[in-house]
Chains A and B, each alone.
Chain A
């Protein structure tokens, strides 16, 4: 019986795998052909300019893998993302909870919050550069903003959508206000915190790359240590088109790794949702 199920699963898995492989291979082949011929399969496509071929990108990537500067770019972007993200969680979660729990606080805080929230994080870049003493802090601040509003909104929404039945039941069972906060509001909000965190993490990567491009990638000159966003921008300025693509793919991978880590952390924090 279990063998049968395993067999079906294997077949399904291999079919899924096969499709995934086909998808990637077809994409790479079309890309390779497209980038090698000036005309796409006989047709002139005027708006397709120079695209580096996947093989060229791979070569450039392999070369970069041995380059310490490339890894430093990873490190710098990751540090900025984490700094902004962690700060957003540390400040955003309590603030969101406070706004959800206290009507007074919500009344005072929410209007300002709602005016600031629609401002795109990138609009903050110039102000941030002027305001913060170092380039590094200004990038981290913009990254922080990217995650902050999303985290707060999710926490407030999550805490407010906890069913009133749970509060009533907790009250009837003799809970104090503090018990209700600790045993109902907090755990009830955790799923929304997880959602807010993963959405916020995505925004953080968007923002950090753009911020690095605009601000010139931090204090260190010469491109090394400027982050992945700066790596892309620098490659563009320097005419190394293969490296642009390497930078793009690197950001994709970095973002994926971060989301995956968060997803796993989320499962650990919400054991009761595991079986659904």
Chain B
């Protein structure tokens, strides 16, 4: 259906012009070949994400969304197709695996703060290993950024000593320390209860309004997807490619009052319909969670 043509973004009016962080996914195919039995995880997937856009990638568990994220992050190779960041080829023919870099940072499902480092050391990690800042400068900047994100007082705790919601925030600040073009979220709030989740969503938007990075956000929580996103890319179940791209025409900045707006309900219904069909397919395929 969508094969062959990029789903282009028409975000013009809603996005403040941000020059960096545009992702172009072109005809990406990923075939896993564990024991001769080739499994197609991603099938000719094309998607354009504008600079500064929050693009929510929605689909049932195990549909191959994470494969796409790993390809952008440079953790896994692709079988064919191309991915560009700001017009520069990340991966494509002759270069199946992108180089991981601090311009695209993943916030993981289970969190990846280093447990053996304090929160402050975690946040300061990037600039220090890259040699961009001295240790002292990095700590100073980290303290400032943590304070901006309301994380003062947790600097000298280890990640294991704070709640998972706070941990996720520290992890986002750790990513932002590197001034990334793109943040890649892999269901980061999946394990949180819905109350904590709503707090996290508002905190994330607040951070976003300050920093305006491009956000590629994987989720299967539809409310989360519509509340946060400029657009929703609803993916088909394995193999994965956009089934429907939905614009969320609720203006940013948003707060939790939009959840009760009639437009939100309408979008919810529209999304649900598209997703439900895929969820049933996934269920019938017997896809496991994850």
A interface, CB within 8 angstroms of B: 163, 165-166, 168-176, 179, 183-184, 187-188, 190, 270-273, 275-276
Query: Once bound together, how far apart are the Cα atoms of A271 and B118, in whole Å?
Result: 10
The listed residue (B100, B101, B110, B130) touching A165 by CB distance below 8 A is B110
Contact residues in B for A275 (Cβ distance below 8 Å): 158, 160-161
- The dominant DSSP class at the B interface is loop
Contact residues in A for B111 (Cβ distance below 8 Å): 165
Query: Once bound together, how far apart are the Cα atoms of A169 and B126, in whole Å?
Result: 10
Contact present for B160 and A168 (CB under 8 Å)? no
Contact present for B158 and A172 (CB under 8 Å)? no
B interface, CB within 8 angstroms of A: 73-75, 100-102, 104-106, 108, 110-112, 114-117, 125-126, 129-130, 158-161, 174, 178
Contact present for A174 and B130 (CB under 8 Å)? yes
Contact present for B102 and A172 (CB under 8 Å)? yes
Residue of A nearest to B177 (CB): A173
Given contacts A165-B110, A166-B114, A169-B106, contact A174 B75 (CB under 8 A): no
Contact present for A174 and B114 (CB under 8 Å)? no
In the complex, 28 of the A-B residue pairs with CB atoms within 8 angstroms, ordered by the A residue number, are A163-B112, A165-B108, A165-B111, A165-B112, A166-B114, A168-B73, A168-B106, A168-B112, A169-B114, A171-B74, A172-B104, A173-B130, A174-B102, A174-B178, A179-B129, A183-B114, A183-B129, A184-B114, A187-B116, A187-B117, A190-B116, A272-B116, A272-B117, A272-B159, A273-B160, A275-B160, A275-B161, A276-B160
Number of residue pairs A-B, CB distance < 8 angstroms:
71
Contact present for A172 and B73 (CB under 8 Å)? yes
Which of B110, B115, B126, B174 counts the most chain A CB atoms within 10 A?
A: B115
Contact residues in A for B105 (Cβ distance below 8 Å): 169, 172-173
Contact present for A187 and B102 (CB under 8 Å)? no
Which of A168, A176, A187, A271 counts the most chain B CB atoms within 10 A?
A: A168
Residue of B nearest to A173 (CB): B126
CB distance from B269 to the nearest CB of A (A): 36
Contact residues in B for A173 (Cβ distance below 8 Å): 102, 105, 125-126, 129-130, 174, 178
Contact residues in A for B74 (Cβ distance below 8 Å): 171-172
The listed residue (A166, A174, A187, A276) touching B129 by CB distance below 8 A is A174
Contact residues in A for B129 (Cβ distance below 8 Å): 170, 173-176, 179, 183
Query: Once bound together, how far apart are the Cα atoms of A276 and B159, in whole Å?
Result: 11
Contact residues in B for A176 (Cβ distance below 8 Å): 129
Contact residues in B for A179 (Cβ distance below 8 Å): 129
Contact residues in A for B158 (Cβ distance below 8 Å): 271-272, 275
5 nearest A-B pairs in the assembled complex, by CB-CB distance: A174-B130, A169-B112, A187-B116, A173-B126, A165-B112
Residue of A nearest to B99 (CB): A171
Query: Once bound together, how far apart are the Cα atoms of A193 and B138, in whole Å?
Result: 31
The listed residue (B114, B130, B160, B161) touching A187 by CB distance below 8 A is B114
The listed residue (A169, A170, A172, A276) touching B101 by CB distance below 8 A is A172
Residue of B nearest to A180 (CB): B129
CB distance from A165 to the nearest CB of B (A): 4
Given contacts A179-B129, A272-B160, A275-B158, contact A172 B114 (CB under 8 A): no
Contact present for B108 and A169 (CB under 8 Å)? yes
Query: Once bound together, how far apart are the Cα atoms of A56 and B116, in whole Å?
Result: 52
Residue of B nearest to A164 (CB): B75
Query: Once bound together, how far apart are the Cα atoms of A275 and B158, in whole Å?
Result: 9
CB distance from B264 to the nearest CB of A (A): 33
CB distance from B185 to the nearest CB of A (A): 13
Contact residues in A for B159 (Cβ distance below 8 Å): 272
CB distance from A191 to the nearest CB of B (A): 9
Query: Once bound together, how far apart are the Cα atoms of A270 and B116, in whole Å?
Result: 8
Query: Once bound together, how far apart are the Cα atoms of A188 and B115, in whole Å?
Result: 9
The listed residue (B75, B102, B125, B126) touching A168 by CB distance below 8 A is B75
CB distance from B109 to the nearest CB of A (A): 9
Contact residues in B for A165 (Cβ distance below 8 Å): 108, 110-112
Residue of A nearest to B126 (CB): A173
Contact present for A172 and B116 (CB under 8 Å)? no
The listed residue (B73, B106, B126, B160) touching A174 by CB distance below 8 A is B126
Contact residues in A for B161 (Cβ distance below 8 Å): 275
Given contacts A173-B129, A174-B178, A183-B129, contact A188 B116 (CB under 8 A): yes
Query: Once bound together, how far apart are the Cα atoms of A50 and B108, in whole Å?
Result: 66
Contact residues in A for B106 (Cβ distance below 8 Å): 168-169, 172
